[in-house]
Amino acid sequence: MENETVAPVDPGSPLFLSGDGFEPAGVLFPHAVFHFPSKEKKEACDFIDKVADKHRRLCEERQRLGLKRQTLEARIARVERKIRALESDPFQWEWRNFDSVAEIPKMLRMYLREYFKKLDLFESMNLSANHYIPWIESAAC
């Protein structure tokens, strides 16, 4: 039997914004329905209308969920950037405005500034490869 779509769906329509490549095509039904006796044809068409309506509602729900997913993925990306910033080199703490999280203690700030100057001096003299440079390993004190 031949199949025919009830409601052809344009894959380029804004109904499917999920971005994952899923493109619904529409509800299929047998072409032979047109040759049924009138009562059975009406029953079959009513059934197909209900199926097509359910398909449309599911597509709309999928669109809403796809939009939520895009919003959540963007939010996750922002949080990941913030996490990477918190995991950054201690000598970038001032530059990355860690004072907005908690004020950097004066002694630690002075140490980081002085150490950064020395590190910069070593790098400019190209001596950093030959000298041990102590590093702050973790947040545990």
| Residue of 29, 96, 137, 72 lying closest to 104 (CA atoms) | 96
Q: Which two tokens stand for residue 18?
A: 């999920």
Domain boundaries, the chain: 3-86, 90-130
* 116 Cβ contact partners less than 8 Å away, ≥ 6 residues apart: 91
Kindly give the confidence (pLDDT) of every residue in the chain, 141 residues in length, as a single tens digit, with 9 standing for 90 and above: 344 444 444 444 544 445 566 677 777 777 788 888 989 989 988 998 999 999 999 989 988 998 999 999 999 999 999 899 888 888 788 888 888 889 989 998 888 888 877 777 667 666 545 555 555 455 444
Diameter of the chain measured on Cα atoms: 94
β-sheet bridge partners, residue 5: 28
Alpha-carbon gap, residue 71 to 23, rounded angstroms: 20
Alpha-carbon gap, residue 84 to 117, rounded angstroms: 24
